[in-house]
Chain A
Amino acid sequence: MRQRGRLVAWIMLAAWGTWLSGAQAVLVTRGTLGPWVPDLLLLLVVVVAVKLHRRDVIPATFILALCRTATTVDSPSAILAGFGILSVLVVSARRYADANRVLVRFAMVGVASLLFASWMALVRSAELGLHAPTSGLGQLLEPLLPGVLVTAVAGAILFQGLILLPGMTPLRQRSRLW
């Protein structure tokens, strides 16, 4: 029974991840907000790495990376590596940082978002090669900076709420046991 509940929780995590990333895609493309849309899926990766049981972090990160690849044409290996490395860093940091404090959450999510944006800009720069006129790392990173800032602010506000998304209770319960 407990196993079935956890399976449903994983499926719900995939569904929430896809919807958050899909909504971000629609807002980035169609909305007037453009680059000022927060990366809610990345925020969920950080939340999962801070709040879930250590053994659940790797599969959860993999599922969330799948959710991102479902809504972007960015390189899947870059997303898997980016989310994976980020979750390793956050899991290491959670020993020392108290995520219940607003400023810590802001800083943690801001740094994570900046690292991920820089990583994706680096990969894109490598893909475009030296011959493309817009392949400079700085040029590519610049449009991502508003999103980094907004994601950090969203992290400070929504951090506790994202783990309370419907269907995620079995994952939360295991983290409490730990």
Chain B
Amino acid sequence: MRTSRTRTLYHLSLAGLALLALRPVDPLVRALDVLLAPSAVLSHLCAPLAWMGGRPAIAGEGQEEAAYAAQLALEQAVLASAEPQNPLRVEKLAGMRALRAEVSGRPRDDRDRIWLRLAQAGNISSLRTGDAVVSGDAFIGTVDVEASRLTAQVGVVEVQLVTGAQFRVGAEIDPEDSRFTGPIVGRRRMVVGGLAPHPDRILLAVHNPEQPGGVGARVIVSETVRVGVRTHLANGFVLGVLARGIPAAWEHASARLAEESLLGIQPIMDFAHGLHQVLILTDSEPEAIGNGATEMVLPVQDAAAWRSTQLLLRGESSPLRAGRKISSGSVNGVSVGAAVSVGTHLLGRVIRVGPLGADLSLLADPGLRISTIALLQDGSGKRPHVLGQLTSLGKGAAGSVRFHWPATLTLEVPSGWEPDVGLPAQIWTGSGDDGLPRGLLIGETDLPFGPGPHIIEVRLAADGLVDHGTQVWVGAPAGTPVSELSVSGEEL
């Protein structure tokens, strides 16, 4: 009887574990990670096998000077990506304060909001609700000071994106776009905000358009100056291109249905994964800042945010995976999603943490997702291009790794470039992913042109077989003023 009951309990627990494997429940998974902490000790038993699995260091590995120089070039290019390119918009900035900030994450329960870390935390108190936030030539949302009361203490301000259901901003078809405006047609004004209910595409919703037509034209912010509304600060910044979204299911429907298709704006930014560097436009007076320092450029690497770690075994027993065990766990401050790098080269991200060790998913591990920026090398210099989220598809040919690139922002063919020849680019991490700082080199590739999605082959900068200088991101200590972090720069 007793044996039978024990056996039943054993079988039930096996069924429970099987269910947990197929449908993970976070608290139970974390409890299991704690229960299985002794396996981290067993991982150390494999240390002698690391001699078999390693490879000799290649000349130049571990010498970080060249990598840091490249990182600095990226830093300048990425910071420049926050600034508008159009001369009219550059001119507009002269009449106001433009505060540099970086996307540091977003609330879990509201994907239509982002958190910004200002280059100079002291400037937060001078911000007002409604101050416009732009990235390059694009308008992306407004500051919400009320929602930032708690986050402001750690140098973070909350922004409501134009994709938010309640968001509204005045807009019009760009008068400079002469194809669609003119003395006869006049101005085409509308209200923009939230997402259009399109089943297949991401389009900003258009409300109350003044006149029909204008599909294919550029839409800019055009807000009148009113009390309590500050989005006029971003007048002239681009919302996207007016588009008529015909759902795929309506492809063979009648012309009448097509006419009733959704009018929306195709954004020029990837709001889900492509927001990195931004400017906050405000006309409020700056408050005196204690040390009188100029605005600092945000740091590429903060030494205090990294802990040195060790790869316990340079291999992975499952042919389906590309992973590693590292010697640091939650007692060392490691958390899920943390980046692991060798110098300035990204190795992968932590996917599971126990008290004494953690599991690392390498870049070649299928399913790994990273927010990225490309540094394009088209002969006329280096310029950044936001790639958005890349998803690893596993190993490709000759040691490369294949990635799925949605190409939300399509890459245009530079003048004089063969369209069939990909554009050489370095791929770096962007900001906005928890635990993944920007400025870590992923590898090099040739990017295809045109609308996505594309599959790209990336030649990795780090392969996980040499662990000299491996470090794991533990994040900046809470409350660290951004101005205390290193690297110099200047105010716009």
Contact = CB atoms under 8 A, between A and B. Distances in A.
Contacts of A77: 17-18, 20-21, 24, 29, 32
B367 interface: yes
Contact of A88 (B11, B29, B315): B11
Nearest to B361: A73
Given A29-B315, A66-B38, A123 B46 contact: no
Given A78-B21, A132-B391, A72 B317 contact: yes
Given A70-B46, A73-B359, A73-B365, A85 B316 contact: no
Contacts of B20: 77, 81
B181 to A, nearest CB: 40
Interface string A128-144: 10001110000010011
A21 B318 CA distance: 10
Nearest to A15: B45
A122 interface: yes
B447 to A, nearest CB: 19
A134 B393 contact: yes
B316 A25 contact: yes
B358 to A, nearest CB: 9
B325 interface: yes
A120 B22 contact: no
A29 B50 CA distance: 12
A66 B39 contact: yes
A81 B17 contact: yes
Contact of A120 (B15, B313, B318, B465): B318
Contact of B465 (A25, A30, A78, A122): A30
A35 to B, nearest CB: 5
Interface residues of B, number: 52
Interface in B1-55: 10-11, 13-15, 17-18, 20-24, 29, 32-33, 36, 38-40, 42-43, 45-46, 49, 52-53, 55
Contacts of B315: 22, 25-30, 71
Interface string B278-316: 000000000000000000000000000000000001111
Contacts of A39: 317
Nearest to A22: B46
A69 interface: yes
A30 B393 CA distance: 19
Contacts of B15: 81
Given A73-B365, A132-B366, A123 B316 contact: no
B17 A19 contact: no
Given A84-B17, A124-B320, A18 B36 contact: no
A26 B352 CA distance: 21
B317 A68 contact: yes
A22 B45 contact: yes
B17 A21 contact: no
11 contacts: A19-B49, A22-B46, A22-B315, A23-B49, A25-B316, A28-B316, A29-B314, A73-B323, A73-B360, A76-B33, A78-B18
Interface of B: 10-11, 13-15, 17-18, 20-24, 29, 32-33, 36, 38-40, 42-43, 45-46, 49, 52-53, 55, 313-321, 323-325, 351-352, 359-361, 365-367, 391, 393-394, 404, 465
Given A73-B316, A76-B39, 14 more contacts: A14-B42, A22-B315, A22-B317, A23-B49, A25-B313, A25-B315, A30-B53, A30-B55, A78-B21, A80-B17, A85-B14, A122-B22, A132-B367, A144-B320
